[in-house]
Structure 1
Amino acid sequence: MTELPLPSYLLASSAGLLPTQLLNSYLGTTLRTMEDVIAEQTVSGYVVFCLQVIISIGLMFYVVHRAQVELKAALVTCEVELEAPLVSSGQPDSGIDVV
């Protein structure tokens, strides 16, 4: 499908997925379980649990938003690069050289 070599693809994919996987691992190990909160039955336990859920949802939206911003910037850059030959000559390159 693409001319990108497999090692480059795997390296780029791993680097791109690493931040999200680290975030998921961190949240998975630090979030309190519902069982812990229910067993304690304290207001502070519920508050901490709710804060952790709110923070994790906020981080998820932040990561998605940043990815969308970067994607839009990359698309704009590609569009500008594609239009550059048209802007410099005023017309599309026909492949015919005029002497």
Structure 2
Amino acid sequence: MIPRMTGLPLPSYLMASSAGLLPTQLLNSYLGTTLRTMEDVIAEQSVSGYFVFCLQIVVSIGLMFYVVHRAQVELDAAIAACETELKTSLGKGTQPPAGGASLCAKRAAPPAGGVNVV
């Protein structure tokens, strides 16, 4: 049996991953088909060509920073929740449940082999 790190069945994991990656893939496909090459912009020598090219670059970079920022915020929130859960469970003098009431408890308690894979 292959150990699961997510705790989700494979079909659910694949569907959620596909749904989560779809918007990014659509955006990448759209930008890849519409993004003008520098050669096209230079050949036209038009102000509108340079403007559209620069706008597409700025939008792409802005979206990249936005996505990374949102991911960092979510990760920080998850880490804070995990630390709070660990502090409350250890403050009570109890060990996190081995069966895993939460993802944080699963990651905090080493498996039977003694190796904690995160």
Q: TM-score, normalised by structure 2?
A: 0.65
1:81 maps to 85
The one-letter amino acid of 2:54's match is C
The one-letter amino acid of 2:94's match is D
1:53 and 2:57 matched: yes
Q: 1:81 offset after TM fit, Å?
A: 2.0
- Correspondences of 1:20-99 after superposition (within 5 Å): 20-87=24-91, 89=92, 92-93=93-94
Whole-Å separation in 2 of the counterparts to 1:15 and 1:80 = 30
Unaligned stretches of 5+ residues in structure 1 = 95-99
Choose between structure 1 and 2: higher helix proportion: 1
Q: TM-score, normalised by structure 1?
A: 0.75
Whole-Å separation in 1 of the counterparts to 2:61 and 2:44 = 24
Determine which structure has greater relative contact order: mean sequence separation of CA pairs < 8 Å that are 6+ residues apart, divided by chain length: 1
Q: 1:61 offset after TM fit, Å?
A: 0.9
Unaligned stretches of 5+ residues in structure 2 = 96-118
2:8 maps to 4
Whole-Å separation in 1 of the counterparts to 2:86 and 2:20 = 25
2:101 maps to none
Q: 1:42 offset after TM fit, Å?
A: 1.4
Larger mean CA deviation between 44-53 and 33-42 belongs to: 33-42
Whole-Å separation in 2 of the counterparts to 1:19 and 1:82 = 35
Identity %: 76
The one-letter amino acid of 1:13's match is S
Q: 1:47 offset after TM fit, Å?
A: 2.0
1:97 maps to none
